[in-house]
Every structure is written in C-alpha cells, then in structure tokens.
Structure 1
C-alpha cells in the first residue's frame, strides 16, 4: 500500500502541471489544435483556481503566481468575448496570439527555478526538504 502524497507534494505536482499547460498556451494556435477549444480553457482553469494559489501558499513563487493569475485573466477575457467560440473562431480572433507571449514569459520564469520532484517534498526544485531541514 502506498502512502497518500502530502499537501506539499501535491502542490509541487500542480506547479509542474501548470508548467505543462504553459507549454500548450505558449504554442499559440498549435496549442489550441493540440488540446481543442475546451481543453485550451479548461486545462488551465482546473489547476489555477485553487485556494492555495489564490492565497499565495502554493509551490509557486510570488512572481510565478502573479503571471499565472495574469494568464487566467486573459483566458477569462477571451471566454467572455465569446463563450461559444469554435476552435477556428478562437484562432481567428487572435486571442491565442495575445496569450502566447505571456505564457512564454511564464514558462521562462518557471524554468529559472526548475521543476519540482513528483515524488519527494522539496523546498525548492532540486533541494529536498529533509536535506534542507538538516542543515
């Protein structure tokens, strides 16, 4: 039987999933083609609006949190423009091209710290919490 992951480990995994979604958003129209219109909006939404992120207590840094919430606002604005976009209409609207630069900036910001372990709690990527606590 395996142990349930800790809250910290879940937060690390969520940060890694957000990074993967940033890859999709950064790909502009190709990202929409990859996941479809519903996936484009819902994948990000599934991970971003969590109490830990909104409260600033997740594995995201302050700057990462700010840019992720900025992208969430872009996506909300795009959705409010036309909640029933088809994939073709959405691409033609130029919203993916407006969102992609910020997603690329966010991706770069995430990579400055690196990605977290999926199996071990870390204070920072590559710095296991148990080792850091022993110092």
Structure 2
C-alpha cells in the first residue's frame, strides 16, 4: 500500500505552499518543482509573490486580509469541499476524478492531522477530521490508479462510504452557518443560503 503523500505525487494534481504560520500561500497544478519539507511531505517551491494575477500589474496594491478573515474564508472553502464529498458518486462525476481528491487536499495534509481547523468549533473539527481520515485512506488505496476515471473511483466504493460522514460534518457546519468573506466575525452573522 502506498502512503497518501506518495499517491499525491503520482497523480496530476495540486501542491500547496504554507508559510511559517500554516497559512496557504500558494497552490500549483504542476509537480515540476518538487521540494521536500522537513516533515517529508512534498511541496512545489515556485514563488507566488512575483506572479501577478490576470489583469493585475505586479505593483498593484493587494488586499491584506487579517488572519481571522483568512480563517473564515478557509472554513467556507472547506465547507464547499465537504459538500462535494457529501454528494457521493455524483460528486466524483461533477468535480472529475482527480479533482475529487485534490480539491479536498488543498486544505488538508495527505497524511496526519492538520495544524489548524480554521474558525471551527471543536465539534466541527472532529467531524471534519473524520472525513479527512476516510479521504486519506481513499487516496492511499492501491486499487485507484494514478490517473483514475470516474468509474474507477466509484467502483472502489469510497465516494459512497465517505458521503454520509461528509454529510454529517456539512450539516453540523451549516447549522452554525457560513462566515462573511469581507468582515471579521466571531460567529456567522446570517442564515446559510448555500448550498
């Protein structure tokens, strides 16, 4: 059985770069510049600060959100990924077989537990951790090739095993709501109109 990190390196997907505080500072869709971190995980090492966004000059002022606002946004993105996983087999078809894995692992490590659960309660963090453990087992499954098809992933049964656990985590997070994307909040301020 290969480790989840080995599986990730073999698939076409994304690597994430985090700064010293664990905040995601870059995502890449190529593994051409692979580096090993001190804990042995693979990361892409191309700098992001020098690359302007489309339609933006390198010298333009960019938003500098607070750590809290970043945490709120990351929690919202995690909710979106958990929602996709809660769809079971149809979620694999909607996102594509490789993206079904990689979009989730943009926010979580391929092995072990994350350093933080942004803007989550302890109960939410535990529920999301249950989803993480299943996804780590699924990505390490040797029955899934390095370039899987939707049918191949569906046949393993992982999407339908993960779906009820993801649905439970999503319902818990939705009961609390989504945070604002533009202002800091201690608790979500409004009703959840999504998904």
TM-score range (shorter-chain normalised) is 0.7 to 0.9
How far off its partner does 1:97 sit?
0.5
Structure 1 residue 40, shift from structure 2 partner: 0.8
* Whole-angstrom CA distance in 1 between matches of 2:117 and 2:138: 27
Q: Is the 8 A contact 1:116 1:124 kept in 2?
A: yes
Q: Is residue 157 of structure 2 the alignment partner of residue 112 of structure 1? A: no
Q: For residue 159 of structure 2, what is the aligned residue in structure 1? A: 96
Question: Which runs of at least 4 in structure 1 moved beyond 6 Å after TM superposition?
Answer: none
Alpha-carbon offset, residue 55 of structure 1? 3.8
- Rounded to whole Å, the distance in 1 between the matches of 2:138 and 2:91 is 15
Q: Counterpart of 1:6? A: 66
Find the aligned partners of 2:71 and 2:92 in 1 and give their Cα distance: 26
1:57 Cα shift?
Answer: 5.9
C-alpha RMSD of the superposition: 1.8
- The aligned residue for residue 124 of structure 2 is 64
2:100 is equivalent to residue 40 of structure 1: yes
* Counterpart contact for 1:48–1:69, Cα < 8 Å: no
Measured in 1, the distance between the counterparts of 2:78 and 2:149 equals: 24
Inter-partner Cα distance in structure 2 for 1:30 and 1:79: 18
Whose RCO is larger (CA < 8 A, sep 6+)? 1
Specify the alignment match of 1:78 in structure 2: 138
Quote how far apart the aligned CAs of 1:10 are.
Answer: 0.6
Task: Decide which structure has the larger Cα Rg and report it.
Answer: 2
TM-score, normalised on structure 1? 0.83
Gaps of 5+ in 1: 128-135
Q: How many residues align?
A: 124
Indicate the larger mover: 25-34 or 61-70. Answer: 61-70
Structure with the bigger percentage of helix? 1
